[in-house]
């Protein structure tokens, strides 16, 4: 299971946490944010509200009484954020973030992706199950944190030319094993 979104196979990957847990990372050494001795660099959270500043260079993401600020550094993300528009009570936002550091500690967040959630109640249940699955995967040590592909091919998908069926020598003329 990948969490840092390092290659095409895991582009949408991120470590799922609550907004409150994310906010608690401010002021911590990024080296302390680890799974299997590897730093977590990309997070996924749910927000119930998002507010952009006038230049769309910063967003405030909120979930109930918790809010964080995130810088918006890439034009496609700025455009994506503007397209979200208003969010009603049944909706929310799925946010992908990385962090910035100063003096060796996490001091800001950077918005890397944002998507509107239409049925936040259902999505929150799924998100919680995914968080639980990630926690279990951590306990069982089955994370693929380095973004390594299980298959050594560019697309991450099976290429039929690499996996051609070998002829079995123990088959008779009728096609049955001997």
Domains of the chain in sequence order: 8-140 (2.40.50.200)
| Alpha helix segments (H runs only) across 15-149 | 19-23, 75-84, 120-140
Lowest mean pLDDT among 14-23, 48-57, 114-123, 131-140: 131-140
Query: Are the beta carbons of 37 and 177 closer than 8 angstroms?
Result: no
Rounded Cα distance, 158 and 154, in Å: 10
Q: 3-class SS at 23?
A: helix
pLDDT over 60 (residue 155): no
pLDDT computed for residue 138 by the predictor: 78
* pTM for the whole structure: 0.73
Specify the residue for token string 């946490």. Answer: 17
The pLDDT value recorded for residue 161 is 43
Q: What is the pLDDT of residue 165?
A: 42
Half-sphere exposure of residue 41: CA atoms within 13 angstroms, side-chain side: 9
pLDDT bracket for residue 27 (50, 70, 90): very high
**Average pLDDT score over the chain:** 78
Summarize the confidence of residues 32-60 as an average pLDDT. Answer: 87
């Amino acid at each position: 299971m990948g969490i840092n979104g390092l290659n095409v196979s895991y582009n949408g990957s991120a470590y799922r946490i609550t907004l409150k847990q994310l906010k608690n990372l401010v002021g911590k050494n990024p080296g302390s944010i680890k799974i299997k001795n590897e730093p977590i660099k990309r997070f996924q959270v749910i927000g119930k509200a998002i507010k952009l500043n006038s230049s769309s260079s910063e967003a405030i993401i909120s979930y109930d009484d918790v809010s964080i600020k995130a810088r918006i550094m890439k034009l496609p993300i700025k455009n994506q954020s503007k397209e979200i528009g208003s969010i009603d009570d049944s909706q929310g936002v799925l946010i992908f973030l990385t962090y910035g550091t100063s003096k060796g500690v996490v001091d800001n967040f950077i918005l890397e992706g944002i998507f509107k959630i239409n049925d936040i109640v259902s999505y929150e249940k799924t998100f919680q199950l995914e968080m639980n699955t990630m926690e279990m995967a951590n306990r069982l040590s089955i994370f693929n944190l380095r973004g390594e592909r299980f298959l050594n091919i560019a697309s991450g998908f099976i290429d039929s030319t690499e996996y051609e069926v070998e002829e079995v020598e123990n088959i008779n003329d009728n096609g049955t094993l001997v």
